[in-house]
């Protein structure tokens, strides 16, 4: 009876078979027609299901958000170092928020922050994709970068309709 199919049985007969072997009748797929059931120990079934759910949760990696902060007066070499860090985060499949923080008079030169964010976007176009435009919140301008694998894949180009064959005598 272990693992063997017993065929289609009436419900009463299936319940009696389960009781006779001190096991439970467990409905595996209720949507099927007829519903699929197994004669097994229900507590063991629950344990196996929970174990499988735990394994599935382990395999799902939570999307980690990393943040890199800069100021508009960053030197070019320092910017390249930050770009390398961002690239590493993206290769590890993490999202990255790049934030330019303005202080004092720097607020009058927000175009410098936009230039820095555009330079970062251009340097990382092969590894990451920008999600949205640069946004300003208070004295901070930021963009979100997602790994290229998480980016929306471009839709396939629509195919041209096939030419209709001409019908003779028309």
pLDDT above 90 coverage of the chain, percent: 21
Domain count of the chain?
2
Cα–Cα distance measured from residue 97 to residue 67, given in angstroms and rounded to the nearest whole number: 5
Cβ-Cβ contacts under 8 Å for 9 (sequence gap 6 or more):
17
Q: Tokens 């949760």 sit at which residue? A: 57
Q: How many residues does the chain have?
A: 170
Q: What is the pTM of this model?
A: 0.53
97 SS3 class: strand
Domain that holds residue 20: 11-59
What does the block give as tokens for 112? 């410098």
112 SS3 class: helix
Tens-place pLDDT, residues 112-121: 888 999 899 8
Specify burial of residue 7 (Cβ count, 10 A radius: 0-12, 13-18, 19+): exposed
In a domain, 144, yes or no: yes
Contact criterion met (CB below 8 Å) for 100 and 72: yes
Tens-place pLDDT, residues 83-112: 999 999 988 888 999 999 999 888 888 888
Are residues 69 and 51 located together in one domain of the fold?
A: no
Give the mean model confidence (pLDDT) for residues 15-19. 89
Are residues 73 and 18 located together in one domain of the fold?
A: no
Are residues 25 and 81 located together in one domain of the fold?
A: no
């Amino acid at each position: 009876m272990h693992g063997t199919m017993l065929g289609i049985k009436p419900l009463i007969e299936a319940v009696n078979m389960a009781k006779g072997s001190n096991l439970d009748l467990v409905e595996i797929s209720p949507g099927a027609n007829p519903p699929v059931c197994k004669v097994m120990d229900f507590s063991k079934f629950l344990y196996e299901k929970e174990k499988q759910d735990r394994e599935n949760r382990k395999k799902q990696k939570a999307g980690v958000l990393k943040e890199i902060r800069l100021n508009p007066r960053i030197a070019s070499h320092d910017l390249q170092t930050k770009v390398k860090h961002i690239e590493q985060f993206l290769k590890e499949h993490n999202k990255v928020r790049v934030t330019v923080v303005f202080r004092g008079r720097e607020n009058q030169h927000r175009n410098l922050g936009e230039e820095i964010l555009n330079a970062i976007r251009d340097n990382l176009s092969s590894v990451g994709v920008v999600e949205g435009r640069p946004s300003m919140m208070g004295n901070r301008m930021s963009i979100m970068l997602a790994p290229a694998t998480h980016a929306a894949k471009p839709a396939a180009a629509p195919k041209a309709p096939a030419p209709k064959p001409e019908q003779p005598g028309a």
